Amino acid sequence: MKILFLTPQPIYQDRGSPIAVDLVLRALSERQEFVDAVTYHEGKDIEYENISIHRTLNVPFIRDIQAGFSWKKIVCDFLMIFKVIPLLLRKRYQLVHAVEEAVFFALIIKFLFKVPYVYDMDSSLAQQMVEQLPWLAPIAPILNYFEGLAVKNALVVVPVCDALAKDIEKYHPQKIVILQDISLLNETPANVQINLKEQLGISGLILMYVGNLQTYQGIDLLLESYALSLNHTKQADLVIIG
């Protein structure tokens, strides 16, 4: 199968979505699929059989592109168009795999080129934008409408978790497939004991968070939960891995 893979992140970097994208590309390579992946100019090169990486124009003043909505991502998303169009004109794809906001490119491609798409959904973009930029709240219904349009027209939606899958049911997607996270750690021998409390010098309760510290991840809830825990226990330590 020939797949156009649209991923609006720096590929590859050791964080969230780029790690997930790397796993998908590796799996597609192992399946002997032919993939053209369009991504940002930043990131470490990766090499898999039958996987071609197409990077956007290297803009000197755009560096250190972080997760979440930003002007840097808007510019890079726009530049992806100049990679996507030539590929569509030269090749015939059977499927588009669209990650996050790239789904709107995929939606247009479906209408113009009749190529179905899979929506790789890491979060609710509408909700994320309003939470990150509260002044967008008045147009939240419009953002929800376009998100619903992207969900409804997808061949399959692949949400990152059960909660997101439940949230998008209101858009009546054709099909939802949840891919659960897997450990990226090498197998640890059964006789190896890891004592985190001992390593960190902690004697009481541990509250642990693993992930990035963007506001939309619910960091406010994390801090509120930690504060509440201190009302019910003499000692609790918050361990953050990000």
Euclidean distance between CA atoms 84 and 224, whole angstroms: 43
**CATH topology (fold) of 2-171:** Rossmann fold (3.40.50)
The per-residue pLDDT for 103 is: 97
- The fraction of the chain above a pLDDT of 90, given in percent, is 59
The per-residue pLDDT for 92 is: 95
Domain with CATH 3.40.50.2000 in the chain: 2-171
Question: With contact defined as beta carbons under 8 Å apart, do 76 and 25 qualify?
Answer: no
Helix, strand, or coil here: 211? coil
Over 90: is that where the pLDDT of 230 sits? no
What is the per-residue pLDDT across 145-172, written as a single tens digit (0 to 9) for each? 999 999 999 999 999 889 899 999 999 9
The per-residue pLDDT for 110 is: 97
Over 70: is that where the pLDDT of 188 sits? no
Q: Is 207 exposed, middle or buried (0-12, 13-18, 19+ CB in 10 A)?
A: middle
Q: How confident is the model at residue 218 (pLDDT cuts 50, 70, 90)?
A: confident
Average pLDDT over residues 26-51: 95
Say which residue the tokens 């530049």 belong to. Answer: 79
Q: How confident is the model at residue 97 (pLDDT cuts 50, 70, 90)?
A: very high
- Mean of the per-residue pLDDT values of the chain: 89
The per-residue pLDDT for 202 is: 84
Question: With contact defined as beta carbons under 8 Å apart, do 168 and 151 qualify?
Answer: yes
Inter-CA distances, 187 with 16, 183, 191, Å: 21, 9, 12
Which runs of E-coded beta strand occur in 137-219? 156-159, 205-210
